[in-house]
Structure 1
Amino acid sequence: MPAKIIVAATPPDAAADAVALAVDLARARGASLLVAGVAVVPMMADREVFARAQRGAMERELSLLVPHDTDGVEAGIAVVVSRSITRGLHSLAEREHADLLVMGPTHRGTIERVFQGDLILSTLHGSTCPIAVAPAGYADRTSEDRPMMGVAIDGGEESDAVLDAAVTLAEQMGASLRIVHVAETPIGYAVPPWLDAAGSARYLEAVRAEGNAVLQRAEEKVDGRVPVSTKLLSGLPGEELARFGSEVDLLVMGSRAYGTVGRVIVGSTAGRVLHDAPCAVLVLPQTVLSEVPALT
């Protein structure tokens, strides 16, 4: 079955950036493109009546978002009627057997995200396919001859699957790949309080040594499939990876990397990177990673 990418035209002011990223990824992967909109049914409204009233107008709006020049990428539109945007996108992705869902930036501040919810993270929860998020202004960018991709790994059980997915995408896009690892050393409380200055220095040195070993193993597993480099960072993973986004065009990461809490729910690291990184970000949910074979 040919690969299929769904691009969410929600919110409308971010649709152009999402479509531009989706076209780039579809072109590289030989995938078709489906520009989708979700008509949210009011709680007391009849679904069928609402659908008939909304579908025509939404289809006309979506047709305006389909780019005229897609360089051979097959593109269509889809309207989903649902009780929420998240449910609608999930059901459409499952129905179409989508390989990727692309979304635009939400343009929300921290306080607004707390009170109104976070569309990107709520869609990431329970997603059956990877989710890519375009940064603001992506539609206005010009492409480079050889784009730079990044992949964040923590050395955990998901790292090989994340790395393999990133290498495969880099091959398809003709991109160089930079593997990044964050040695978790938050200022103030990373070092156990019972250590003295000398012990603290040894502790931090050990953390960095472990990080370098993680990067070396990852570079060896790439085995020359794409041009590769590595980078070790220190600090809070969310902050450091978001900052690292200025060095790459696309950053690939798992949704549960870094920290105990992040392995239970989609953690703060993924949320911080998705909202603060200046590059496009592709997040691989754990349900997807379990199906990706590890590099050997």
Structure 2
Amino acid sequence: MTAPANPPVIIGVDGGPSAADALALGRWAARTLGTPLVVAVVHPAPSAIGSGRVDAEWVADRHRAAEAVLDQARAALAGDPAEVTYRVVASSSAAHGLHDLAEELAAEAIVVGSGWAGPQRRLFAGSTAERLLAGSVCPVAVAPAGMETPPGTVGRIGVAYVDTPDGRAALTMAARMAERTGGPLRLYTVVSEADAPLPFLVGRDAEHAFLETARETYELSLRRAAESVGACDADWVILTGDVVEALAEVTEVDLLFCGSRGYGPARRVLLGGVSSRLVRRARRPVVVVPRSG
């Protein structure tokens, strides 16, 4: 199959409980970006070494299970006016299959649920969402389980911002989405609490002074970044506390964009080391932007 004229949004589903959230997020993203939609199920490819007949029967059973999952997706999207294509992909892993499909179609984004791979129709073990975060050729959007507020309801796009190549890449993509929605953009940076554990051999007064300086530096960085996205209204917020906890509790956005790596004050990891934890705990959908450079 040749790539569509317009890069699609790919939704990965497997019949688990998070499929509805992924479908809702992917459908909204495709409508907002004006792109076609591809719904995909990945099932195990035939093993190179095996018992022949037994392996073939098992793979055929997995293929039938994948087709059943697509039937569920078709029912969920019935009546949707958007252009939707349904694909069954054979691969060694769900993440690998979605990566290959995204590369083949030059996809805008891959959308999955945070609990991708449900217990009743599990085609692969492990967390596909987390594995997708490593090496994806396009942004990966993860819908939180049991998403209470449908995407598009809030009317604001968020971005976890640090002044690094990855942070700027996330800002660019977040600003583009805000432009498409017509809503405002909000930038977030997280700094540590004053009573957070201190670095080894650093006194409390020195730590407080450092954090205050860091806050002033980040305020300037956020102000400049917000002013740089002139195509949409933008403001900024500095959150205090644990990075994952603070970002996970952000609820006033439809999407929260973040880079795949970055560092906060005192070289505390902001995104790279915690993005997998963030997508498991965030209350709103998170979009992890591929590493720049």
For Structure 1 versus Structure 2, the TM-score category normalised by the shorter chain is: 0.7 to 0.9
**Residues 5-154 of structure 1 mapped to structure 2, 5 A cutoff:** 5-10=9-14, 12-41=16-45, 43=47, 44=50, 52-66=60-74, 67-70=77-80, 72-106=81-115, 117-138=126-147, 141=150, 143-144=152-153, 147-154=155-162
Does 2:220 correspond to 1:213? yes
User: Quick one: which of 161, 168, 171 aligns to 2:169?
Assistant: 161
Question: CA-to-partner distance for each residue in 1:178-199, whole Å, 9 max, x for gaps?
Answer: 11111245844345633353x3
Q: 1:261 to 1:78 in 2, by over 3 A?
A: farther
Q: 1:45 to 1:120 in 2, by over 3 A?
A: farther
Taking structure 2 as the reference length, what is the TM-score of the superposition? Answer: 0.83
Aligned-partner SS, 2:136: coil
Residue 278 of structure 1 aligns with which residue? 283
CA deviation after TM superposition for structure 1 residue 249, in Å: 2.0
Is the contact between residue 257 and residue 269 of structure 1 (CA under 8 Å) also seen in structure 2?
no
CA deviation after TM superposition for structure 1 residue 256, in Å: 0.9
Question: CA-to-partner distance for each residue in 1:238-267, whole Å, 9 max, x for gaps?
Answer: 222112x2222210011112266969xx83
CA deviation after TM superposition for structure 1 residue 37, in Å: 0.5
Is the contact between residue 151 and residue 253 of structure 1 (CA under 8 Å) also seen in structure 2?
yes
Task: Decide which moves more: 245-254 or 13-22.
Answer: 245-254
Q: 1:196 to 1:169 in 2, by over 3 A?
A: closer
Q: Distance in 2 between matches of 1:188 and 1:139?
A: 32
CA deviation after TM superposition for structure 1 residue 81, in Å: 1.1
Is the contact between residue 13 and residue 116 of structure 2 (CA under 8 Å) also seen in structure 1?
no
Q: 1:107 to 1:125 in 2, by over 3 A?
A: closer
CA deviation after TM superposition for structure 1 residue 135, in Å: 1.3
Is the contact between residue 259 and residue 272 of structure 2 (CA under 8 Å) also seen in structure 1?
no
Residue 231 of structure 1 aligns with which residue? 237
Letter of the structure 1 residue corresponding to residue 245 of structure 2: E
Q: 1:166 to 1:69 in 2, by over 3 A?
A: same
Is the contact between residue 8 and residue 35 of structure 2 (CA under 8 Å) also seen in structure 1?
yes
Residue 201 of structure 1 aligns with which residue? 208
User: Quick one: which of 164, 170, 175 aligns to 2:178?
Assistant: 170
% same residue? 31
Is the contact between residue 181 and residue 211 of structure 1 (CA under 8 Å) also seen in structure 2?
yes
Question: CA-to-partner distance for each residue in 1:204-236, whole Å, 9 max, x for gaps?
Answer: 21011111111111111012x112211012333
Aligned-partner SS, 1:68: coil
Question: CA-to-partner distance for each residue in 1:31-86, whole Å, 9 max, x for gaps?
Answer: 1111111112475365776555543552243033130132x310121001112112
Is the contact between residue 63 and residue 77 of structure 1 (CA under 8 Å) also seen in structure 2?
no
Q: Distance in 2 between matches of 1:210 and 1:192?
A: 23
CA deviation after TM superposition for structure 1 residue 200, in Å: 3.4
Q: Distance in 1 between matches of 2:19 and 2:51?
A: 27
Letter of the structure 1 residue corresponding to residue 44 of structure 2: V
Is the contact between residue 194 and residue 211 of structure 2 (CA under 8 Å) also seen in structure 1?
no
**Which ranges of structure 1 fall in alignment gaps of 5 or more residues?**
109-115, 291-296
C-alpha root-mean-square deviation of aligned residues, in Å?
2.8
Q: More helix per residue: 1 or 2?
A: 1
Letter of the structure 2 residue corresponding to residue 242 of structure 1: A
Is the contact between residue 262 and residue 268 of structure 1 (CA under 8 Å) also seen in structure 2?
yes
Letter of the structure 1 residue corresponding to residue 89 of structure 2: V
Question: CA-to-partner distance for each residue in 1:124-148, whole Å, 9 max, x for gaps?
Answer: 112111100111223873743x611
**Which ranges of structure 2 fall in alignment gaps of 5 or more residues?**
118-124
Is the contact between residue 6 and residue 35 of structure 2 (CA under 8 Å) also seen in structure 1?
yes
Q: 1:88 to 1:186 in 2, by over 3 A?
A: farther
Is the contact between residue 103 and residue 132 of structure 1 (CA under 8 Å) also seen in structure 2?
yes
Residue 113 of structure 1 aligns with which residue? none
